[in-house]
Amino acid sequence: MILSTSYEELKDLVKDKKFPMVICDLDAFNQNLERVGNYLTKVKKSLRLCSKSVRVPELVNKVEKEDFVNGIFTYNSAEALFYAENYKTKDILLGYPTMSKVDVDELCKAASIDGVSITVMVDDIKQINLLEEFAVKNNVEFDTLIEIDVADKLFGRNVGVYRSPIRDPEAAVKLAQIISKANNLHFRGIMGYEAQNASIGDDKALFRFAKKRSRKHVNIWRQNFVDALNKAGFQPEVVNGGGSGCFQETATETSITEIGIGSLLFKSHIFDTINSLNEFLPSLFFVIQIVRKPKENIATAFSGGYVSSGSVRALPIPVIPKNIKTSKDEEFGEVQTPFIFDQKKRELNLGDPIFCRFGKAGEPLEHFNEILIYSKGELIDSYKTYRGHGKRFS
């Protein structure tokens, strides 16, 4: 494992490589995948891989072949088409609604491939009408999931994310009825993504309170939707929920059939404050190189600004060597990143590598063409990212 390897060994490992680089610790990745699989198998639930959080097709394909994995959760129609054409992925869910004719045309191409099933997220009749129009015209069929809103409200604020307008079971039943009257669309189930539980840490009392409250409410809300749909004659085949940060808790819910997970396989550092994930290991690192020493206790690396969307927690962090920190005046920068160190504990010299962790998984890989694969002390391979395949799906 990279985190248990000496700094001297790691320096020797990357000394002849081009900086900056990304390294995936395959042993840690596989261990994370095994832990997820063992847990979900025990509670008789399935995983749907969130491909946007990985963005490395070879890794996505590897995970998708596991017995406990239902399929992949894509975030863009072109991404769905890519996996349909290149990997013949059997069960592809487009996890976000679309109102683009170009997108729906791509989904039709994917759905026309033998052995490939396409499910599309909806939460409005306009999305349903567009899908039906193109499905009929292209003689293909789509399954649909209705996304429901499971964000909580606390102290007058929305705790979660603003996604679906479907907030009561009756609205979901009405959409299911509309879908059932379409010629080429089929109701498959629902999704309720609880961002407030999947991405908030346990390091603050307010966060712990919000998650405990939300967990109780989300379980009831999702079950109410399932009960209403069953009563109306629409038995959900798929009830998707959760996220990497709360998959164990979500998996205990009776109605849940599958959980969307992706980031946890890399364990980006925003998950470090979630206690239930302590046994999971960081498996994705980027490495930058010291090229300047502007002061005796400051060493500056080239590049490093691989930030992610969201809060300040999405900034990267340095992890190897220890006892270094970024300059608060500059932080991680597009062309340079200064590191401050205590000379009594650590010395940094020109040419030294700095191993860092991304704040979030997947998204920063848009900056890289490939990731290097590390296993048992060696770099054994390289896998292309979406960018390396000449694709940009965002």
- Beta-strand (E) ranges in the chain? 21-25, 46-50, 69-74, 91-94, 117-122, 142-147, 152-154, 157-159, 185-192, 238-241, 258-261, 284-295, 298-302, 317-320, 324-326, 336-341, 353-357, 370-375, 378-384
- pLDDT score for 155: 64
Residue 375, burial from CB neighbour count under 10 angstroms (0-12, 13-18, 19+)? middle
- Token digits for 196? 């407030």
Distance between CA atoms of residues 295 and 153, nearest Å: 49
Integer CA distances (angstroms), 66 to 144, 259, 347, in order: 24, 14, 45
Closest to 179 measured CA to CA, from 228, 145, 221, 148: 145
2-24+279-389 CATH pick, 3.40.50.300, 2.40.37.20, 3.40.640.10, 3.40.50.2020:
2.40.37.20
Q: Phi, psi (5° rounding) for residue 168? A: -135, 150
CA atoms within 13 A on the CB side of 370: 11
- pLDDT score for 246: 85
- pLDDT score for 207: 75
Bond into 169 cis (ω within 30): no
Domain 55-261 fold: TIM Barrel (3.20.20)
Residue 232, burial from CB neighbour count under 10 angstroms (0-12, 13-18, 19+)? middle
- pLDDT score for 330: 92
- pLDDT score for 313: 66
Q: What is the 3-state secondary structure (H, E, C) of 297-342?
A: CEEEEECCCCCCCCCHHHCCEEEECCCEEECCCCCCCCCEEEEEEC
Where along the chain do its domains lie?
2-24+279-389, 55-261
Average pLDDT, consecutive stretches of 10 residues, N- to C-terminus, the chain (394 residues): 96 96 98 98 97 97 97 97 98 97 98 98 98 98 95 69 89 98 98 78 74 79 95 97 88 94 95 92 98 96 90 84 93 96 92 96 95 98 98 84
Same fold, 2-24+279-389 and 55-261: no
* C-alpha radius of gyration, the chain, whole number: 22
Q: Is 46 helix (H, G, I), strand (E, B) or coil?
A: strand
By residue count, the chain amounts to 394
What is the identity of the amino acid at 229?
L
- pLDDT score for 193: 83
